[in-house]
Amino acid sequence: MELEGKVSLVTGASRGIGKAIALKLASFGARVAVNYVAIEASNKVDADNLVESITRLGGEAMSVEADIRDSEAAQAMVEQVNDKWSKIDILVNNAGINRDTLLLRMSDNAWDDVINTNLRGAYLCTKFALRSMMRQEWGRIISISSVAGIVGNTGQSNYAASKGGLIAFTKSVAREMGSRNITVNAVAPGYIITGMTDKLPSETREAMLAMIPLQRFGQPEDVAELVAFLASERAGYITGQVITIDGGVFP
């Protein structure tokens, strides 16, 4: 229960990696705000089900709706968490989308949607959540980047730019916040089995598997373990780092 007493906010937590992170932080004793975006009615149901699961396991959680691209919504989300639990200790910038296509075929919307969700969304949530962390002189910001943000990827110039931007953002905010005892790190997953990767054609999946030294795709729980470590006291001297978690593809 090493996160007992801590308050966390995980964006895009109703499914996939975000859901695994929310469950892991709760299992370590943190209270968890589960962010979802109400694009479909089922998203609220998923978020509320997760809150119920955490509560049943003896944890404390709340669901909070916000489209993180929207400045007012992101601010209201942070205020809702602060109103309920009086602080935020841990922010996980997890929400993200992809709109993959080759650059020459890319629409402006596909570019803007991905940058606005993955980069602007993280910027907004970080800016608003930092206020509480600065007051208490303790905080953890962990952003989910991607190996695509380090090495690039064909068909993902928008996604890779957003995730590379997130890395540069992480390193900069880590420098700004070091004196406040707030650590700011990014994790860069490779191929993790979620709704995002389910969409890929089976030939692409097989080709990717052949490149992984550990000979399996990652599970959301693999990423959640790393995030929980970075959120803990044990990681108190790690900041401005990007930690790859990809089964050994890019050593």
The angle at the Cα of 56, spanning 144 to 77, to the nearest 5 degrees, equals: 45
159 is catalytic: yes
**197-to-66, 115, 194, 206 alpha-carbon distances in Å:** 24, 19, 6, 12
Q: List the x/- string, 131-160, binding to ligand NAP by CB under 6 A.
A: -------------x-x--------------
Catalytic residue among 36, 123, 159, 191: 159
Give the residue from 104, 19, 108, 93 showing the smallest Cα distance to 61: 19
Any contact of residue 194 with ligand NAP (CB under 6 A)? Answer: yes
Question: Least distance (Å) from ligand NAP to the CB of residue 191?
Answer: 5
Question: Least distance (Å) from ligand NAP to the CB of residue 198?
Answer: 8
Any contact of residue 37 with ligand NAP (CB under 6 A)? Answer: yes
Alpha-carbon gap, residue 244 to 229, rounded angstroms:
14
Alpha-carbon gap, residue 97 to 79, rounded angstroms:
25
Any contact of residue 63 with ligand NAP (CB under 6 A)? Answer: no
Question: Least distance (Å) from ligand NAP to the CB of residue 179?
Answer: 28
Q: Where does this chain bind ligand NAP (CB under 6 A)? A: 11-12, 14-18, 35, 37, 39, 43, 67-69, 94-97, 117, 121, 144, 146, 189, 191-192, 194-197
